[in-house]
Amino acid sequence: MFASSKARSKAVVLLSGGLDSATTLAVCIDDGCEPIALSFRYGQRHAVELEAARRVAHALGVAEHLVVEIDLRIFGGSALTAEIDVPKDRDLSDHSEIPITYVPARNTIFLSYALALAEVRQCQAIYIGVNAVDFSGYPDCRPEYIAAFEKLAALATRAGVEGQPLQIRAPLIDMTKEQIIARGLELGVDFGLTRSCYDPDPGGRACGRCDSCQLRRAAFEKLGLRDPAPYALDEDTDY
């Protein structure tokens, strides 16, 4: 399914268990890379995503999936890592303020871990599923940020100093959510295995009202498809 004529190289893929990271993993494999999936248990309230990441990695035939334990709750400052309500039913067209679901420095922390792993394992690239089109206003999802981190990686690693810098690949950065879903389906991603909600119920069902759920459901609807992930509100609402 993921046959490629390219030489098989190694890459670290940041895998959260959500729609975007699952598609990014599939793209990495389709690019001809041997992926090492890297996930984080960082004190997030939506830790159900880690089980989703495990399912996705297994379904796509990933041989190695690492889960790093860190605790960003010691910093707080985000609805995902502190006792702050997750915003619901927000107007996503308003990017005037960075939402409280932004986790300070999260992508920088994750990419730093990925960079260390990639250098030790002699990987050529790091894949990250950030997106600058259908996103919630996070500063670390922009092309400028990815370009800047790639420059940092070239300066901060032995591989970079020796003239073989790692690439930071963000294959979804210019895609709409509908395009991401379509690409994932083309590559055989089972989105029923993924979870994207910021505030799932105790059973792991998505709320359907946070920013992430709104973006995800709207994209499936625009494609004329039903989102296969479970939603708590589907018990009360026709969808």
Residue 221 has pLDDT above 60, yes or no: yes
Reported confidence tier of residue 233, pLDDT bands at 50, 70, 90? confident
Q: Mean pLDDT over residues 119-136, rounded?
A: 89
More confident position, 233 or 95: 233
What residues contact 235, with CB distance under 8 A and at least 6 apart? none
Check which CATH number belongs to the domain holding 22 and give it. Answer: 3.40.50.620
Q: Is the pLDDT of residue 136 over 90?
A: no
- Residue 137 belongs to what H/E stretch? none
Helix axes 177-186, 19-30, angle to 10 degrees: 50
pLDDT band at 235 (very low <50, low <70, confident <90, very high): low
Place of tokens 């990686």: 153
Torsion angle defined by CA atoms of residues 162, 155, 6 and 39, in that order, rounded to the nearest 10 degrees: 130
Whether residue 2 lies inside any domain: the answer is: no
Question: For 149-181, how does the pLDDT look when each residue is reduced to its tens digit (9 = 90+)?
Answer: 999 999 999 999 999 999 999 999 999 999 999
Closest CA to 179 of 220, 135, 130: 220
- 222 within some domain: yes
| 3 within domain boundaries | no
Residue 4 located in a structural domain: no
pLDDT given for residue 91 in this prediction: 86
List the Cα angle 164/166/59 in 5-degree steps: 135
The pTM score is 0.93
Q: Quick check: 12 and 117 in contact, CB under 8 A? A: yes
Per the CB < 8 A criterion, the answer to whether 135 and 143 are in contact is no
Largest distance between two CA atoms of the chain? 59
> Is residue 34 one of the residues assigned to a domain?
yes
Expressed as residue numbers, the domain containing 71 is 9-235
- Is the predicted pLDDT of residue 96 greater than 70, yes or no? yes
Residues paired with residue 127 on neighbouring β-strands, in sequence order? 13, 169
Give residue-wise pLDDT tens across range 49-62: 999 999 999 999 99
Within 13 Å of residue 14, how many CA atoms lie on the same side as its CB? Answer: 24
The tens digit of pLDDT for each residue in 3-34 reads 444 457 999 999 999 999 999 999 999 999 99
Residue among 223, 178, 231, 213 at smallest CA distance from 90: 213
Residue 102 maps to a domain: yes
CA terminus-to-terminus distance, the chain: 32
* Candidate from 120-129, 135-144, 198-207, 223-232 with smallest mean pLDDT: 135-144
Counted domains in the chain = 1
Q: Calculate ∠ Cα 65-71-77, nearest 5°.
A: 125
Tell me, yes or no, whether 46 lies in a domain. yes
Poorest-confidence range of 1-10, 136-145, 197-206? Answer: 1-10
In a domain, 17, yes or no: yes
**What is d(CA 25, CA 142) in angstroms, rounded to the nearest whole number?**
19
| Secondary structure E strands in the chain | 9-14, 33-41, 64-69, 125-127, 167-169
